[in-house]
C-alpha cells in the first residue's frame, strides 16, 4: 500500500538569486492535489517539493490500512539513493506502529533544486531520497525478503528521478515561463511516480505475491539500466534568450 501525505505539501528547497538582486525569502501556496508550487515567473525562482510517499510492505498475506495520522511528518531526506549503498534495516529508525497491520514503512521521494546562474545557464540537482525517521520496521518481521521489497520502493524513486533529469535536460525553457515549465515537469513526474508506487504494491500484493515481486524486481532493474545515462544528480537545462 502507498499513502501520500496531502496536507500542506510544500517546502522551500532553494531560492535563486538573479544577478545583482539580493535574496528575499518568499513562500508560495502549494496545491495539495497537484504538486509543489512556484512563485510567479517575474520573481525569484522557488521550487517546493511534494511530501514523500510512505510505502508499506508486508512479510505476510493480508490487507493493510495506513491511517492519515501516520503520514510522513516532514521532508527529512537524510539519505540519497546510491547504487552501491542499498538499504539496511538500521536505516529504518522510526517507531513501529503495530496497530497499522503493516510490517514496514519506507518513506522516500524526489527533490529537485533548480539554479539559474548569473551567466543565464540553468542547472538542476535532482535526487531520490529516503527518510530515516519516517521509515520503520517491526523487528519481528525484518526479513531479507521484505528488505528487498522496500529497496524497490527506493529504487522506483531513483528511476523517476532519472526520468525527471532526462525531461529537464531535453526541455527548451523560456525565460518568461521558466517557473511554469519547471512546475509542470515536476508535477507530471510526481504523478507518474506516485502511480508507479501504488501499482507496485498492488501487483506484488505488498511483496506476498512472489512471482509478481520477481517481475517487478527485474523490471525496475532493467529500467534503471535503460536510464543509466541520467544517473548523475546534476543536469543542465537550456534557456532561450
> b/e per residue, 168-177, with b = 16+ CB within 10 A?
beebebeeee
Higher-pLDDT residue of 93, 67: 93
Interval 73-117: pLDDT, tens: 445 447 999 999 999 999 999 999 888 778 999 999 999 999 988
Q: State yes or no: pLDDT of 63 exceeds 70.
A: no
pLDDT at 5 over 60: no
What CA–CA distance (Å, rounded) separates 57 from 185? 29
- Per residue in 28-60, pLDDT (tens digit) is 223 333 333 333 333 344 444 455 555 554 443
Residue with more model confidence, 119 or 5: 119
User: What is the per-residue pLDDT for 52?
Assistant: 55
Local structure of 87: helix, strand or coil? coil
pLDDT at 139: 84
Question: Which triple of cell numbers denotes residue 61?
Answer: 498475506
> Residues with Cβ < 8 Å from 179, sequence gap 6 or more?
38, 39, 40, 41, 45, 46
pLDDT digits (tens, 9 = 90+) for 186-214: 999 999 999 999 999 999 999 999 999 99
Task: Look at residue 24 in the predicted model and tell me its pLDDT.
Answer: 29
pTM of the model: 0.74
| Structure-block grid coordinates of residue 104 | 514496514
pLDDT tens digits for range 113-158: 999 888 888 999 999 999 999 999 998 889 999 999 999 999 999 9
Going 192 to 194 to 195 to 196, the CA torsion angle's sign is: positive
Helix (H, G, I), strand (E, B) or coil at 53: strand
Lowest mean pLDDT among 21-25, 70-74, 191-195, 230-234: 21-25
State residue 55's pLDDT score.
54
Select from 113, 112, 121 the least CA-distant residue to 18: 121
Amino acid at each position: 500500500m502507498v499513502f501520500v501525505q496531502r496536507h500542506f505539501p510544500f517546502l522551500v528547497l532553494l531560492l535563486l538569486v538573479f544577478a545583482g538582486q539580493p535574496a528575499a525569502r518568499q513562500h508560495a501556496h502549494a496545491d495539495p492535489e497537484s504538486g509543489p508550487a512556484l512563485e510567479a515567473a517575474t520573481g525569484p525562482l522557488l521550487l517546493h517539493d511534494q511530501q514523500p510517499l510512505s510505502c508499506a510492505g508486508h512479510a505476510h498475506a493480508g490487507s493493510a490500512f495506513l491511517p492519515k495520522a501516520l503520514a510522513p511528518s516532514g521532508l527529512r531526506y537524510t539519505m540519497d539513493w546510491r547504487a552501491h549503498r542499498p538499504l539496511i534495516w538500521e536505516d529504518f529508525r522510526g517507531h513501529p506502529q503495530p496497530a497499522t497491520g503493516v510490517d514496514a514503512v519506507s518513506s522516500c521521494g524526489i527533490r529537485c533544486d533548480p539554479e539559474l546562474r548569473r551567466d543565464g545557464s540553468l542547472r538542476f540537482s535532482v535526487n531520490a531520497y529516503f527518510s530515516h525517521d519516517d521509515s520503520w520496521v517491526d523487528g519481528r518481521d525484518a526479513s531479507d525478503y521484505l528488505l528487498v521489497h522496500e529497496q524497490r520502493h527506493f529504487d522506483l524513486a531513483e528511476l523517476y528521478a532519472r526520468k525527471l533529469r532526462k525531461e529537464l535536460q531535453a526541455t527548451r525553457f523560456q525565460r518568461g515561463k521558466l517557473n511554469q515549465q519547471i512546475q509542470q515537469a515536476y508535477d507530471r513526474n510526481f504523478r507518474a511516480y506516485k502511480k508507479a508506487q501504488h501499482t507496485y504494491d498492488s501487483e506484488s500484493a505488498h511483496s506476498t505475491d512472489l512471482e509478481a515481486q520477481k517481475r517487478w524486481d527485474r523490471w525496475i532493474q532493467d529500467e534503471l539500466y535503460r536510464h543509466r545515462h541520467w544517473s548523475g544528480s546534476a543536469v543542465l537545462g537550456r534557456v532561450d534568450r
